[in-house]
């Protein structure tokens, strides 16, 4: 026995409390170590599972329904069609997909509204998604049906076509949102293929006159989609035009919103074969899609830098998207009719929809590549820092979100 061991042994014999204290200290250290491991595990679990906390922090709690309700926003495609064929939208590549050409009937729409009223009486009901709602000749009747049930509603449109401006304003819609990408046609049609910005501007002027004539409370918001190429004079001219009309002017980084081709591109970028049966039926990613993809300043790759890893879709309580045939879409960003969470919204329960999203292979790929983060503009400071690398260094700061 060496001298150090002899001293410790002697002290322990002569002073029993010392030995007891040593044991207690060792036990406490083990407890502290175990608690630290438990804390780290809980933090990791929160990071991986708590999508609601993530979205509330990044987008705001207003996107979630009150306690006891199912969903905040119900998007209903009252038509499956669009009059444009934008290159970053699935309508620009429609021939690649299974897609019903249909218009929802008012009777089915009314049944859907009744179910929403039971599930989520304070929800917003939005008669569009992956379509141009003004193509439905009965749009005003759909809006009136929404308002009769006390729902708030908003309509998003490219506003190239308006059937009857008087009837549209008189329908009682709370808000119109118009997305555009230029003031001149040369710039505008690079993204909004098949459109005519001069028609949009003429329709906005007519809308201003009709809102004033009817003393309507409709709010009009114009969102300028920012690409690498359209942040110069076109931006200034459109901002002045919109503000002169008394409408709200906003801006956002243009995105690759099409779930199918964006995920497929990210998978191939990482050398990953699809492994998804329906993807194998798709042809090569269209060249015109990739041309427009390269014109984005905000790319899906930035999402991978956000330090969160969820296992389930965080949007379940935020959005429900119902197609023109009454089926529940897998995701508001999905286009193909094979991607559904349930074939009939009227028979679907929230748990059925959530379970499908939890198990679907495309949803798992979305979570893997953090496409859900990309779509909600999470961590705007990071996005702006990323996007500024792709635009002219002399671009004024007021162009940045």
CA 263/CA 370 separation, integer angstroms = 10
CA 10/CA 374 separation, integer angstroms = 67
CA 281/CA 70 separation, integer angstroms = 35
CA 215/CA 212 separation, integer angstroms = 5
pLDDT, tens only, 371-397: 988 888 877 777 888 888 888 777 776
Res. 48 pLDDT band, cuts 50 70 90: very low
DSSP reduced 3-state for 297: coil
Residue ranges and CATH numbers for the domains of the chain are: 59-399 (3.20.20.70)
pLDDT, tens only, 243-285: 999 999 999 999 999 999 999 999 888 888 766 777 777 778 9
Q: What is the CA radius of gyration of the chain?
A: 27
Predicted pLDDT at 281: 77
CA 381/CA 145 separation, integer angstroms = 41
Element (H, E) at 331: none
DSSP reduced 3-state for 30: helix
Least-confidence region, from 39-43, 69-73, 172-176, 344-348: 39-43
Predicted pLDDT at 12: 59
Write out the two tokens for 28: 């406490």
Predicted pLDDT at 44: 60
Q: Which neighbouring-strand residues pair with 177?
A: 156, 221
DSSP per position, 73-104: EEEE-SBS--S---TTSGGGGGGGS-----B-
The vertex-360 CA angle with 67 and 133, nearest 5°, equals 65
Element (H, E) at 356: helix 350-359
pLDDT, mean of residues 100-114: 95
Res. 207 pLDDT band, cuts 50 70 90: very high
52 torsion bin: left (phi>0), alpha (psi -120 to 50), beta (else): alpha
Q: What percentage of the chain has pLDDT greater than the value 90? A: 61
Check pLDDT > 50 for residue 216: yes
Check pLDDT > 70 for residue 10: no
The vertex-364 CA angle with 68 and 265, nearest 5°, equals 130
Check pLDDT > 60 for residue 46: no
Least-confidence region, from 35-44, 135-144, 158-167: 35-44
Between 229 and 393, the more confident residue is 229
| Mean of pLDDT over the chain | 88
Sign of CA dihedral 325, 327, 331, 334: negative
Between 165 and 45, the more confident residue is 165
Place of tokens 């329906």: 278
Which of 58, 93, 71 minimizes the C-alpha distance to 332?
71
Predicted pLDDT at 4: 61
Predicted pLDDT at 169: 97
Q: CA 99 → CA 96, 126, 202, distances in Å? A: 9, 21, 32
Predicted pLDDT at 49: 47
């Amino acid at each position: 026995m060496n001298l150090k061991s002899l001293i410790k042994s002697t002290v322990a014999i002569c002073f029993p409390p010392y030995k007891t204290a040593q044991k207690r200290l060792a036990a406490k250290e083990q407890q502290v170590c175990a608690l630290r491991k438990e804390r780290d595990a809980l933090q990791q679990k929160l990071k991986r599972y708590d999508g609601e906390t993530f979205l509330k922090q990044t987008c705001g709690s207003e996107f979630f329904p009150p306690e006891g309700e199912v969903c905040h926003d119900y998007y209903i495609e009252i038509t499956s069609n669009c009059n444009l064929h934008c290159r970053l939208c699935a309508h620009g590549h429609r021939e690649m997909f299974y897609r019903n050409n249909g218009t929802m009937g008012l009777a089915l729409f009314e049944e859907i509204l009744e179910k929403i009223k039971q599930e989520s009486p304070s929800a917003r009901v939005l008669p569009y998604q992956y379509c141009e709602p003004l193509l439905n000749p009965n749009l005003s009747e759909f809006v009136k049906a929404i308002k009769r049930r006390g729902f708030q509603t908003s309509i998003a449109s490219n506003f190239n076509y308006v059937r009857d401006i008087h009837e549209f304003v008189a329908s009682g819609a709370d808000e119109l949102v118009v997305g555009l990408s230029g003031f001149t046609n040369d710039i505008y049609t690079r993204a909004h293929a098949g459109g005519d910005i001069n028609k949009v501007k003429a329709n906005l002027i007519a809308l201003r006159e009709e809102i004033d004539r009817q003393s309507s409370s409709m709010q009009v918001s114009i969102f300028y989609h920012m690409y690498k190429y359209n942040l110069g004079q076109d931006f200034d001219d459109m901002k002045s035009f919109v503000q002169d009309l008394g409408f709200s002017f906003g801006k956002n980084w243009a995105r690759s919103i099409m779930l199918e081709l964006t995920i497929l591109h990210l998978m191939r970028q990482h050398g990953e074969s699809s492994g998804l049966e329906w993807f194998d039926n798709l042809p090569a990613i269209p060249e015109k899609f990739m041309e427009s993809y390269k014109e984005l300043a905000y790319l899906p790759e930035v999402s991978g830098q956000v330090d969160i890893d969820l296992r389930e879709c965080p949007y379940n309580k935020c959005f429900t998207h119902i197609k023109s045939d009454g089926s529940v879409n897998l995701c508001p960003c999905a286009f193909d009719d094979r991607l559904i969470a349930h074939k009939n919204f009227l028979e679907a329960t929230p748990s059925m929809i959530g379970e499908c999203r939890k198990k679907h292979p495309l949803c798992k790929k979305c979570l893997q590549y953090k496409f859900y983060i990309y779509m909600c503009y999470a961590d705007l400071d990071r996005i702006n820092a990323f996007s500024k690398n792709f635009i002219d260094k002399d671009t004024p700061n007021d162009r940045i979100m």
